[in-house]
Structure 1
């Protein structure tokens, strides 16, 4: 059933097309975020009240599909926004929120702070070689990149860095490779220099904030210089039907329009 109220204004949709992302405050309730943090803290093996136990810059926790996580990912606001950005009936509801990289205040290099896009297929052939996984111009296997904020994240709390408009650079880079696409190794060969000129913004926010991003948006982690651990998930929104760049009826979603405009 279509959502009765649109989550995004026309201006926000056009911002998504131009910039490659849109921020939604209070996309899910803060009390749900707190319940999720409680579960995550228990799995870190760290004491939330004792910073001496925070001995690593990042702890990666596995797939989370417990009820509060599924509830956070499937609010009416988010479903409405998915309809608006991807197209009604063209996406699959979230069954989980995937992996959580929990970032702790630390002087140490986290080892994963390079610029990249989230690739979306090819792991079946090389499950242990992440750099061989692929993306193509029709974003096979991924309708959106999503950043779910579960703790208060300020500028010093390792917010994800975003290159505004970089989805257009990646679309142009992927287009000549056709359906086969490019591996992350190929995409990163120049350290994503084609988007280095782009303005950078930080994915900060309060618990319940969600950034809905174009699947080609270039982004990066960073070291944590603050005082409070950062809890965030970055699951894909998976397509129910393929992203299509040549629709007979012209009913292009904003995700598709952004790619077409980049290639025009």
Structure 2
């Protein structure tokens, strides 16, 4: 039998399948958001009330505070499990092995590794979401991409501040999931990260600006092409992109169709089929070591 949804409604699930994303509101305690974002200014040596101290337009912070999602945000954890098919399908902790360093990725934690858009692009005209906005990409520079890849199982966004129109919200192209899925199906040998995915934005017709409120958790299909936007709001945008890794590659040909996860259902919907027997024709070249 299909797993019963904990947080998402049937309408939410269908929206994810058809549009490739779902928004879950109220996933961060406002007090925690304030404590962590206030501390971020201190870590940078910026005065939130004195813009002359802001030496950069956008900053990527390292993790300082961390916590289990199920403790920080039980609602967010339940939503994540709804989309992935359950906690048993989520890899807890892995070490990404690079040539010069190691990076630990934990799918079960959230942190204050903020992307702070202070005023990036404020000195330039507003650019609405379109191919001309530039910078469109598919996440995952550290692995060869296959139709069923597990390394970048989801693209997720947590807003730790309110994000209004023209406030630096992420731009997305919902119909890119269909374009990317079919492209990957045509390349069972895999695709290295690069310009190939970026160029696919020219085949897309749907574009959205993801605005939101503090505590919004937006869960997006991993094939969603996206890009950053300019911040004309006069307010700092705080967001994180917590990684999600699956224990196994997606299974698009399950014996029991009720066992398909929402990620798998959305992928099959993008391909226009009920099931798909994907077989990679080249090594996955995974650089992972499970450490937890």
Q: TM-score range with shorter-chain normalisation?
A: 0.7 to 0.9
Q: If the length of structure 1 is used for normalisation, what is the TM-score?
A: 0.83
Q: 2:201 aligns with which of 192, 202, 219?
A: 192
Match of 2:76 in 1: 78
SS at match of 2:234: coil
Are the aligned partners of 2:58 and 2:117 in contact in 1 as well (CA < 8 Å)?
yes
Using the TM superposition, give the Cα deviation of residue 78 of structure 1 relative to its aligned residue in structure 2, in angstroms: 1.6
Match of 1:100 in 2: 114
Using the TM superposition, give the Cα deviation of residue 191 of structure 1 relative to its aligned residue in structure 2, in angstroms: 5.7
1:91-131 superposed Cα distances (whole Å, 9 cap, x missing partner): 1342344742211125357xx96111112642xxxxxxxxx
Using the TM superposition, give the Cα deviation of residue 70 of structure 1 relative to its aligned residue in structure 2, in angstroms: 4.1
| Structure 1 unaligned regions, length at least 5 | 123-133
1:203-240 superposed Cα distances (whole Å, 9 cap, x missing partner): 21111111011111111101111111111011221112
Q: If the length of structure 2 is used for normalisation, what is the TM-score?
A: 0.76
Matches of 1:28 and 1:186, distance apart in 2:
36
- Answering whether residue 273 of structure 2 is matched by residue 259 of structure 1, we say no
Match of 1:90 in 2: 89
- Answering whether residue 80 of structure 2 is matched by residue 59 of structure 1, we say no
Matches of 1:73 and 1:148, distance apart in 2:
15
Match of 1:118 in 2: 139
Q: 1:238 aligns with which of 245, 265, 269?
A: 245
Using the TM superposition, give the Cα deviation of residue 20 of structure 1 relative to its aligned residue in structure 2, in angstroms: 0.7
Are the aligned partners of 2:152 and 2:243 in contact in 1 as well (CA < 8 Å)?
yes
Q: Could you say what the CA RMSD is over the residues aligned between the two structures, in angstroms?
A: 2.5
- Answering whether residue 225 of structure 2 is matched by residue 215 of structure 1, we say no
Using the TM superposition, give the Cα deviation of residue 44 of structure 1 relative to its aligned residue in structure 2, in angstroms: 2.4
CA 1:73–1:47 in 2, change beyond 3 Å: closer, same or farther? farther
SS at match of 1:47: coil
Matches of 1:173 and 1:53, distance apart in 2:
46
Match of 1:125 in 2: none
Are the aligned partners of 1:60 and 1:102 in contact in 2 as well (CA < 8 Å)?
yes
Match of 2:99 in 1: none
Are the aligned partners of 1:120 and 1:140 in contact in 2 as well (CA < 8 Å)?
no
Q: Which has the larger radius of gyration?
A: 2
Matches of 1:253 and 1:95, distance apart in 2:
21
CA 1:183–1:71 in 2, change beyond 3 Å: closer, same or farther? closer
Q: State how 1:141-220 maps to structure 2 within 5 Å.
A: 141-178=151-188, 180-188=190-198, 190=199, 192-195=201-204, 197-198=205-206, 200-220=207-227
Using the TM superposition, give the Cα deviation of residue 141 of structure 1 relative to its aligned residue in structure 2, in angstroms: 0.6
Are the aligned partners of 2:69 and 2:110 in contact in 1 as well (CA < 8 Å)?
no
